Amino acid sequence: MIYVAARDPRVKVFVSQVGAMDSRWTIANPAAKVHTFCQGTARARGEIGYPPAGSRFNNVR
């Protein structure tokens, strides 16, 4: 799909959505699972924003 989008001039837009790479730690804990899915749903609906670029999340930047 990406190859075609890069080579075919008829393709005007290509959208790719990538899920979490390893969410086992989230879904293993029921409270974290509910929190994560609620935040994801709220962001998808535009009810809350995304963290600013360069901000820290736990120990990840």
Token pair 């790479």: residue: 21
Specify if 3 maps to a domain: no
How far apart CA 59 and CA 61 sit, in angstroms, is: 7
The number of distinct structural domains making up the chain is 1
User: What is the reported pLDDT for 59?
Assistant: 61
Specify if 44 maps to a domain: yes
Residue 48 neighbours by CB under 8 Å, 6+ apart: 39, 42
| Contact (CB, 8 A) for 14 and 1 | yes
- Backbone CA torsion sign across 28, 31, 36, 42: positive
Which tens digit of pLDDT belongs to each residue from 15-50? 887 766 677 777 788 888 888 889 889 999 999 988
Q: How confident is the model at residue 10 (pLDDT cuts 50, 70, 90)?
A: very high
10 or 53: whose pLDDT is higher? 10
Specify if 13 maps to a domain: no
Radius of gyration of the chain (CA): 16
Specify if 60 maps to a domain: no
Domain of residue 32: give its range.
18-51
